[in-house]
Amino acid sequence: MSINGQQTTIAAEVGKDLKVIAEGLLEDVFKIIRNLPPEALNWKPEHMNNSPFVLAYHLLGSAGYWIGEVVGGIPADRNRANEFGVSGDHEQLEDLLTETKKDSP
């Protein structure tokens, strides 16, 4: 077997495992996010830069990048730095969660 073939096989196996881990992690995080009142979603603790919305948004961006682009070879249209300047609501995060799951190989 060629080295490229081995890398493809390894990437496929690792990708399956990463997808299972990421989906479980995302579901656990979203159980907490779903229970936050709307006003808490964009709240930032004193002396901190990130709200729960930012952290969830960044987690989704990271999952999409690692599972889709690194393992699956599907380019993620991601601007990591912009993930830390966002705010929004529960519906936006749910939509992004659905999209992240759908786009992962």
Tokens 């979603």 -> residue: 41
Domain chopping of the chain, boundaries? 3-103
Q: What confidence score (pLDDT) does residue 91 get?
A: 96
* Cα-Cα end-to-end distance for the chain: 24
CA 58/CA 6 separation, integer angstroms: 31
Q: What confidence score (pLDDT) does residue 21 get?
A: 83
Q: What confidence score (pLDDT) does residue 3 get?
A: 55
Point out the residues of the chain with pLDDT beneath 50: 1-2
**Which string of b and e fits 57-70 if b means at least 16 CB within 10 Å?**
bbbbbbbbbbbbee
Q: What confidence score (pLDDT) does residue 17 get?
A: 79
Q: What is the DSSP secondary structure assignment for residue 33, as one 8-state letter?
A: H
Q: What confidence score (pLDDT) does residue 6 get?
A: 63
Q: pLDDT tens-digit profile of 20-30?
A: 888 888 889 99
